[in-house]
Amino acid sequence: MAITCLSYLGVNSEHSEDWLDFATKILGMQVTEKCKNSYSFRMDNQKQRLSVNYEKDSYKFFIGLEVDSLNDLESYAERLERAGVLVYQGGPNIASRRFVESLIYFHDPQNNRIELVYKPMLDETTFVPGRPILGFKTDVLGMGHVVLQTDNLAVLLPFYRDLLGFCVSDFTLTPVTAYFLHINNRHHSFALINTGKTGLHHFMVEYNHLDDVGQGYDLLECKENSIAYTLGRHTNDYMTSFYTYSPSGFLVEVGWGGRIIDPRNWVPKEMDIGPSFWGHERLHLPDELRRKFRKKRLETAAIGMKSPPIINCPWLYS
């Protein structure tokens, strides 16, 4: 029994027209379903990777995680209920809106809505990107990654690690505490960051071509205050990326070149360098915290830390 990948993300937003522009023209997703206040977006042959709806006084977002079988859904439901978590069976109506055969849903200890899904529907038509990109790195690796922020890591980490079975890839203790967790060969599909707030911190989409990241960066640089982290490269997953603001206010990481790991041999460790080899100036942070990140980054550069060379690089070309 295991969760195999991040299947989709859903956002509850009254800014659905802004999301339409952002998801297609900036990120390069394909819009496939349009109803009143509701959009579905594709990133590959899966019918839905991003869903934007507006439901007043409802959830803020939901995270869809895929499992291998109907038995897995039952086993997870039993395990969660034994731990005192209220688990709901998703009926045919929700399943059709999520474009999956079956699902259960529940909330983590900080009321973030999680959905476990079996058999997402595929679309037989070719993916047509919203801007001319060479596609997203998805398939068995899933949609990308999601990062939750929290003011209580001690309650969220055991929920995801011990109850849902996510595995720690690595963690940082300064300038902020953050845990990065894997569920497949992607270095992390999920992370928790202790910002003192709760909710969605960011989601990440990964492109097949670095130039699609750069061309997205150019599109945003034309708009005032649209870059949250400048272009940079992370020390743990080697992702070359920048961060921008979604129409809902949380961040979106736009990346390329993320690390592929072998979970069977992986040993979790503390990352005391980084979190970036270079770049990722955090323009959105207050000055003092921003300075702490910059100092640590310059110390990382001063000792010559770099990602592995691209030639014969196992995390990119395996």
Interface with Fe ion by CB under 5 A: which residues? 204, 253
Nearest approach in angstroms of CB 64 to Fe ion is: 18
Nearest approach in angstroms of CB 145 to Fe ion is: 6
- Report the distance separating Cα 209 and Cα 212, nearest Å: 6
- Report the distance separating Cα 291 and Cα 281, nearest Å: 9
Nearest approach in angstroms of CB 81 to Fe ion is: 32
Nearest approach in angstroms of CB 22 to Fe ion is: 17
DSSP conformation class of 110? T
Task: Please name the amino acid found at residue 209.
Answer: H
Q: Distances from the Cα of 25 to the Cαs of 13, 32, 142, 229, 256, in angstroms? A: 18, 14, 22, 20, 18
Please say whether the beta carbons of 257 and 239 come within 8 A.
yes
Nearest approach in angstroms of CB 137 to Fe ion is: 14
Residue 52: strand pairing partners: 11, 39
Strands (E), the chain: 3-12, 30-35, 38-42, 50-53, 61-67, 88-90, 100-107, 113-120, 145-150, 167-172, 178-182, 190-194, 199-207, 227-234, 240-245, 251-256, 269-270, 276-279
Which CB, 20 or 204, lies closer to Fe ion?
A: 204
User: Helices (DSSP H) in 92-134: which residue ranges?
Assistant: 92-98
Contacts of 89 (CB under 8 A, 6+ apart): 77, 104
Which CB, 20 or 228, lies closer to Fe ion?
A: 228
CA-nearest of 204, 174, 199 to 189 is 204
Nearest approach in angstroms of CB 35 to Fe ion is: 30
Q: Are strands 251-256 and 199-207 parallel, antiparallel or unpaired?
A: parallel
Which CB, 181 or 204, lies closer to Fe ion?
A: 204
Which CB, 76 or 277, lies closer to Fe ion?
A: 277
- Report the distance separating Cα 145 and Cα 238, nearest Å: 14
Nearest approach in angstroms of CB 136 to Fe ion is: 15
